[in-house]
Each structure stands twice: as structure tokens, then as C-alpha cells.
Structure 1
Amino acid sequence: MPLTSEQHHINYLRIEQAIKYLEANFMSQPDLDEVAEKVHLSPFHFQRIFTEWAGISPKRFLQYLTVDYLKDKLLASKNILEAAESAGLSSQSRVFDLFTTLEAVTPHEYKLHGSGIQIEYGFHPTPFGICLIGVTERGICWMSFLLSDEDQRTSLEEMKAYWHNSVFHQNQQLTQEFINQIFLQANTTKKLHVFVKGTNFQVKVWEALLRIPSGHITTYKDIAQLIEKPKAMQAVGSAVGSNHIAYLIPCHRVIRKDGILGEYRWASARKKSMIGWEMAKGESRF
């Protein structure tokens, strides 16, 4: 029986703690018994919940996050992106179907900062911790993950500041349907739609991020080339960091060209867990 979102969340908190421990002690390369002890679990229990969460063993998962593996993955992913671009992403011959489509606010709406937009929101457990999701009739307009020391009010205020002229209403039942579709693969034939507010440049970067398939990664340089702005890597990095729809607009799939994963708006440990989790899911399909 598949795990529920709540079970995924509980397991994730332990797994994030383990990843943080491995981050802090990477020079000594602690074994799994030591990591299990630090998260207050037996090695058997830790191995079991990790495998339930990721679908693979902790040892295999950590191999995905090594610099050498990520460098090789960057090359493979670049080839896929180039093939998709040459095939024409808007054509019937495109290499992969976009799971998520994007619509941006109009210039007039951008000036109004969300005036007249109604946003239904909810807090939900996910495989990567508690998230806040906001939904409008035009699509998902917000997704963020709570940091370990952050309460729901802080996250909600951040969303309200971003869409500060909008009307907000908590609707857990509605937003749960979107969470199920995103993380539990419910209604997999139905595409998700995101509704964003940003500059023309930011929107171009976010559209480029949607071209990165799950289980693959890319670099800021490759994104800059993809949007035909090869010298704008710093601006690309800023646009990636300002993404307000976590996971769905996959800014976590952008890493440094040297294979270092780098920082993440919602914690570097979460970025590592997302990348490894997606690679594991891709492996399990073959």
C-alpha cells in the first residue's frame, strides 16, 4: 500500500536530519549505522523508512549526490535539453511532454500586484516537508516549503506580501486535490497549470526550468544559453532564486557546473533530497 502524505512527511523529517548530518560530517564519511544513531533510529528502521520514502537504499541514494555522478548527469541532461530544443518543444515531435504549463500575469495585472485575484490556500504534508500552496482559477500561483524554524504564519505572510492586493481564503479540501496530483500521482493524465507574476526575463527563465525533465539537472550557464542570453548568468541565477512556485517550477534542478548542488531558497538539504528522490523515481521506472 502506498504511503500517505503524512507518512511521507514524518519520514522526510528524519531523512532531512540525516542529510544534514552527512553534510556536516562529509569529511569523515560516516557509515549508515552512525547516521541512524544520530537520527535516533535503529539501522534496520532507518534503512526501511528511507527505502519506503525514496524507493532505494540510503547507500544508493547518496551515490546520486556525489560530485562525479552529478557531473556525468549534467552532461546527459544537457543532451536531452538540446534534443528537446532541436525537436521543437511546441511541436508534436517534442522529446517529452511538459507536465506543467505556465501562464504569466499581463503587464496591466503586474502593475496591480494581484488586485482582484482570489487565492485559495492550504498547508499540507509532502514527501519534502510541510508546504504552503496557493491556487487561483488560472492555476497554482504559490508553493513554498516551511523551514525547520518557521511557522505557518511566516510562510503565509510571505505569500500575501507577494500577491498583496489579492483576496485570500483557506481551503484545505481544494488544495489537497492539487497536492495529491503533484506528489501522489493522482490524476496523472491531467496537466498542472501555474500562474506566475514576474518580469519578462524572469518568466523566460521559469519557462526554461519547466523544460528540465524530472530526474535531470542543468546549470545556470545552460539556462542562460537556452533563453539566448549567454552572458546573463548572474541575472539567470537571480531569476531562479526568485521563483515562487517551488518544485513545480523546478529551480532545484539547477546546480553549479562543477557538480556542487549549491544553496536553495527552502534549505540546501531539501534540494538534495528532491534531486536524489527524483533520480531514484526515474531509476525505478526502468
Structure 2
Amino acid sequence: MNDQTTGQSLGQAELTDRYHYQVIGRAIEIIDAAPGPLTLEEIAADIGLSPAHFQRVFSRWAGVSPKRYQQYLTLDHARKLLQSRHSTLETAHLTGLSGVGRLHDLFLRWEAMSPGDYARGGAGLRIRTGWFESPFGDLLAMGTDRGICGLGLAAQIGREATEADLRQRWPKAEFAPDARALAPWVDAALTQSGEARMHLIGGPFQIKVWEALLNVPDGHVTTYSDIAAAIGHPSAVRAVGTAVGRNPISWLIPCHRALRKSGAMGGYHWGMPVKRALLAWESARWEA
């Protein structure tokens, strides 16, 4: 592989390969389109695998059976998350709940760009880029000398659109392919070991929203209105939703954990199947 376009995570034993996520992605699409629960045999037949092989591939990736994972993908499960693992953000730190979150998990460090630097559209910044494999398909990483500034998931929209999406956020920056330089931070992000540094490049309001998201623990969820209250703007729910959607560092800044008060998923910049997969994957590991 060309090091300038594709990076390899050092923790491959802990990650699925691209083939496994393709199988899981197709399974999720089939489950989403079905009017009710499907049997193992029905899903396997649609994918073109034997039930036994599909069960092995799926369980290796998700850590649970297809039947159990199917339950995690439903609206009902999202509502149960709000009832049982709803982090209000205002009390999470006081109760120690955020102690299990990534922000306090020893490996994550971040700093924000100044408002003036952000207003210049990335002028003077040199941003390295590289493609990596993740449990959720192709992952585009971008980073400055200070840390990761962009992570995009291309499973739904493709590599070209993902790269264009991240590049347009800092139109005056200089971009250079250099997956090797980013690999240690990306590996830490994927395996939650080592040190993952982030360089948040956004407006002051956006950064407040992203900082609040960093306090949502693994396996838990919050709501857009809770985020608005936590940053001192309780009436700015719509603006919070926009800032959540503009989060440039998917996964590490867990915007997929933000739901509507009703339990509905809301939107997700990199595609709703990816959001459902992320939440279900985290639920499986948290309950294990």
C-alpha cells in the first residue's frame, strides 16, 4: 500500500477488516428496510452467506449475535438508552460518570485554535492527511503538528466526498498526504491506548459544544437540549444541533451519542447507518 494514501493501524488484532464492515453494513441496511425482526437465516440469505459463516463474521465484529445486535439498532433501544444511560452532562462529572469517558481515559489530550486563527480559514496551517482502516470502514484522518483536526468516515458517502467535506472546512490551509505521521495518533484513537492528541479548529460556540460531547461517557447518550444547557445556552438547541453536525473529529468527539429528547436518532453527518452502527457497537461492548 502507498503510505501517502493509506495508513495501517498498529492494533489490527483488535479491529475488523474492511470486508467485515461491508458485511455488517449490508446487514444493517437489510435490517433497516425490514418491517419487523429478521431471522439469522433471512439476513444471511440476503447477503449471500451461509447462516453459520454470517454468524461468525457478525459476532467477531460486534461481539454479540446478529439477533442481539438487531435489538440495539431499533428506536426502542435508543429510548431505553435515554432512560437508563442518559448523561445529563451537568451531573456527569459530579457523579464520577465521566471518569469512564474518553476525555478522562488517560490517552486523550486536546487544545483549541484561537478564534482569530479560525477566522483566517486555516491560512498558514499545514494539515497532513491519510487513509486508515477502522471498524466502520475507511477512515480519513487529518492533523496539524498539534494533533488530529479531522476524522471522517467514508462508508456511506465515499472517499472523494469525505475528503472534499473536510478540506472545505479550512479552505486556506496547505494539505499534504502523510499517513505515517498521523498513524500513532490514529492508532491511539482506534485502540484507546497510547496518546491521541486533537487540535480543535472551530468557532468558540462550536468548541464549547464539542467539549460538552467529550464528557459523554462510552456507552451513554445525551440530548441536544442537555448540551445546550451544559454550555449555558439552554434556548440554543437548534444551534447546538448545527454545531454537533459540524464536528470535524468523528468518533473521538462522540457526536453520534447525541439524540433527540424523544429518543429519535436525529441526524449524523457521515450517514445514519454509521450512527446506528456506532451506538450499537458501543452498547454491545458496554454491556459485555
What TM-score, normalized to structure 2?
Answer: 0.87
Residue 50 of structure 1 aligns to a residue in which SS? Answer: helix
Q: What secondary structure is seen at the aligned counterpart in 2 of 1:156?
A: helix
Cα distance between partner residues in 2 of 1:22 and 1:172: 35
For residue 122 of structure 1, give the secondary structure of its aligned residue in structure 2.
strand
Which 4+ stretches in 1 moved above 4 angstroms? 2-7
**Which residue identity is paired with 1:251?**
C
For 2:69 and 2:90, the matched residues in 1 are separated by: 27
Q: 1:30 to 1:181 in 2, by over 3 A?
A: same
Asked if 1:137 is matched to 2:145, the reply is yes
- How many pairs were matched up? 274
Distance 1:76 1:102 in 2: 29
Checking the alignment, whether the CA contact within 8 Å between 1:142 and 1:244 is kept in structure 2 is yes
Partners of 2:251 and 2:42 in 1: how far apart?
Answer: 31
Which 5+ residue runs of structure 2 have no aligned equivalent?
1-10
Identity over aligned pairs, percent: 37
Alignment of structure 1 residues 50-129 onto 2, 5 Å? 50-78=58-86, 81-86=89-94, 95-96=99-100, 98=103, 99=105, 100-129=108-137
- Please give the alpha-carbon distance, in whole angstroms, between the structure 2 residues aligned to 1:208 and 1:158: 23
Shift of 1:282: 1.5
Contact between 2:87 and 2:221, CA under 8 Å: does it hold in 1?
A: no
- Give the letter for the 1:194 counterpart: M
Q: 1:1-286 residue pairs with structure 2 within 5 A?
A: 4=13, 7-25=16-34, 27-78=35-86, 81-86=89-94, 95-96=99-100, 98=103, 99=105, 100-148=108-156, 150=158, 152-187=159-194, 190=195, 192-284=196-288
> Per the alignment, do residues 115 and 283 of structure 1 end up closer, same or farther by CA in structure 2, a change over 3 Å counting?
same
- Check whether the contact 1:114–1:165 (CA below 8 A) recurs between aligned residues: yes
Distance 1:76 1:102, change over 3 A: farther
* One-letter amino acid of the structure 2 residue matched with residue 133 of structure 1: A
Measured against aligned partners, the alpha-carbon deviations of 1:102-130 in whole angstroms (never above 9, x if no partner) come to: 32211221122111211111011110010
In structure 2, do the counterparts of structure 1 residues 44 and 88 end up closer, same or farther at CA, with 3 Å as the change threshold? closer
2:202 is matched by which residue type in structure 1?
A: G
Contact 2:87/2:216 (8 A) holds in 1? no
Cα distance per residue 1:224-255 (max 9 Å; x no partner): 12112211111111111111111111110111
Mean CA deviation greater in 245-254 or 78-87: 78-87
Name the amino acid aligned to 1:234: R
Partners of 1:71 and 1:77 in 2: CA distance: 10
* SS of residue paired to 2:226: helix
1:142 aligns to what SS in structure 2?
Answer: strand
Q: How far apart in 2 are the matches of 1:68 and 1:20?
A: 18
Cα 1:193/1:176, change in 2 over 3 Å? closer
Instruction: Report the alpha carbon displacement of residue 20 of structure 1 after superposing the two structures with TM.
Output: 0.9
TM-score, with length taken from structure 1: 0.87
Q: Secondary structure in 2 aligned to 1:178?
A: helix
Q: Is the contact made by 1:205 and 1:227 (CA closer than 8 Å) also made in structure 2?
A: yes
